[in-house]
Structure 1
Amino acid sequence: MRYRREDENGDYTFGQGDNSFLVNSPETVRQAILTRLELWQGEWFLNTKEGTPYQQSVVGKQQADIASLAIRDRISGTPGVRSILSFASTFDGDTRRLTFTATVDTIYGKINLTYPEV
């Protein structure tokens, strides 16, 4: 598995040869998951069905378990993911912000996620 590396601002890196890529590592799958979570369903004009269903299942008057299921499904569908070992989400009603942590078993080893990243 090969994935273009992102810098601390979330921009793809270029001009560093092979160092511009993550290859066959847990971090490769971690970045793939985070990138998939950043794409909202309907945002990509070439495939409007692709993306995380934030408007459909997460934001607004949705039940917390529906939102968690949508996010878990998006994580599970990422290439390189074997299973989700643990998942916990929290919704802050004051800020209307959903955060979650997950431990994911990938084909290269375990990773821990916090989303959004702080």
Structure 2
Amino acid sequence: MRYRKLDANGDYTFGHQQADFLRDSPETVAQAVSTRLKLDQGEWFLDKTEGMPWKTQVLGERTTATRDSAVQKRVLGTQGVTQIASYESEFDSETRKFTPTVTIDTTYGQTTISENL
């Protein structure tokens, strides 16, 4: 599995040839999970059904029952993820920040992802 690295601002890195890519590591899969979680459903012009249903299943009204399962489904659908070892989430209703923390087993080892979304 090969994935282009992101810099501190979340932009693709360029100009360093092969050093601009992650390869066959837990970090590679973690970045894939992170970018898949950040893609809003309908945002990708080639497939409007692709992405996280943030407005309807995660951050919308009365989504307590669906938010964690929507995130877990998206994580498990990522290439290289074999299973979720542990999962926790926190939702701050005042700031509307949702923070899932997921430890995943990948084909390359175990890693943890924690995102403020």
**TM bucket by the smaller chain?**
over 0.9
Distance of aligned partners of 1:63 and 1:56 in 2 relative to their CA distance in 1, 3 Å threshold: closer
CA contact (8 A) 2:56 2:63 kept: no
Identity fraction in percent: 48
Are 1:8 and 2:8 counterparts?
A: yes
Q: Is the 8 A contact 1:101 1:112 kept in 2?
A: yes
Matched-pair contact (CA < 8 Å) for 1:36–1:51: yes
Task: Say if 1:64 and 1:91, in contact at 8 Å, map to a contact too.
Answer: no
Corresponding position of 1:89 = 89
**When the two structures are superposed, what TM-score results if normalisation uses the length of structure 2?**
0.95
Cα deviation, residue 63, structure 1: 2.8
Q: TM-score, normalised by structure 1?
A: 0.94
Match of 1:56 in 2: 56
5+ long unaligned stretches in structure 1: none
Could you say which residue in structure 2 is the equivalent of 1:69? 69
Residue 6 of structure 2 aligns with an amino acid whose one-letter code is: E
Q: CA deviation at 1:9?
A: 0.8
For structure 2, list consecutive stretches of 5 or more residues without a partner in the other structure: none
Q: Does 1:19 align with 2:23?
A: no
Q: Which runs of 4+ in 1 moved over 4 A?
A: none
SS at match of 1:63: coil
CA distance in 2, matches of 1:90, 1:20: 33
